[in-house]
């Protein structure tokens, strides 16, 4: 089993796509491990996309990611990292196949609805960044003191 980090970006949340996207992942057979609707600070957005720090689009990318709520998730399944990226589709929605999330719901690369980790190492780093130790297998994500 593998875990991957997936995040519905502000355009996906604004378009009301949390439900349809959850459905696609559940229908595929992934198991939801963590989910959090949140606003992210500039610093976290920059850390998340650190590999693109030198790219011309970096500033625009970080501004976009902090422009509204995101829905951060951890999904588990066999080959979850690669399988999630197949569901998500090509980075540029213009090249994304119909039937993929970007192929069905987006038109432009700057607003492509959803993020998925690009490797198991990235997934570990991103789960730690967004969920800390909660995302580690075998550790309950709720606090039992909150249940009474
Ligand atoms: P993501 O990290 O968001 O899942 O996307 P990805 O792996 O498919 O693509 P990546 O190369 O990691 O790019 C990260 C995000 O940067 C934006 N981008 N803009 N203007 C451009 O040419 C350009 N290229 C990439 C996209 O929003 C992409 O998702
Ligand atoms: Mg990427």
Domain boundaries, the chain: 2-137
Expressed in angstroms and rounded, the spacing between residue 125 Cα and the centre of ligand 1 is: 17
**pLDDT computed for residue 22 by the predictor:** 98
Q: In what helix (H) or strand (E) does residue 70 lie, and over which residues does it extend?
A: strand 70-77
pTM score of the predicted model: 0.91
**pLDDT computed for residue 145 by the predictor:** 60
- Angle at which helices 80-88 and 18-28 pack, to 10 degrees? 130
Q: Which ligand is nearest to the CA of 6?
A: 1
**pLDDT computed for residue 144 by the predictor:** 57
Q: Which atom of ligand 1 is nearest to the CA of 118?
A: 7
CATH number for the domain running over 2-137:
3.30.70.141
Count of beta carbons in the 10 Å neighbourhood of residue 35: 16
Intervals of the chain under pLDDT 50:
none
CA distances, 137 to each of 124, 134, 141 (Å): 11, 8, 10
Expressed in angstroms and rounded, the spacing between residue 62 Cα and the centre of ligand 2 is: 13
Question: Which residue's CA is minimally distant from atom 16 of ligand 1?
Answer: 61
**Residue ranges at the known binding site for ATP:** 9, 57, 85, 91, 102, 112
**pLDDT computed for residue 72 by the predictor:** 98
Expressed in angstroms and rounded, the spacing between residue 118 Cα and the centre of ligand 2 is: 6
Tokens representing 111? 């607003």
């Amino acid at each position: 089993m593998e875990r991957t980090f997936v995040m519905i970006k502000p355009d996906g949340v604004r378009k009301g796509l949390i439900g349809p996207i959850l459905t696609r992942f559940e229908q595929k057979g992934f198991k939801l491990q963590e989910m959090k609707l949140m606003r992210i600070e500039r610093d976290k957005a920059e850390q998340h996309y650190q590999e693109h720090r030198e790219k011309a689009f970096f500033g625009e990318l970080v501004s976009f990611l902090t422009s509204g709520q995101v829905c951060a998730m951890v999904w588990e399944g066999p080959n979850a990292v690669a399988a999630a990226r197949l569901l998500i589709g090509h980075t540029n929605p213009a090249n994304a196949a119909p039937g993929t999330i970007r192929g069905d719901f987006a038109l432009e690369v700057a607003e492509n609805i959803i993020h998925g980790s690009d490797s198991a190492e990235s997934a570990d780093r991103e789960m730690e960044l967004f969920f800390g130790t909660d995302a580690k297998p075998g550790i309950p994500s709720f606090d039992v003191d909150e249940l009474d």
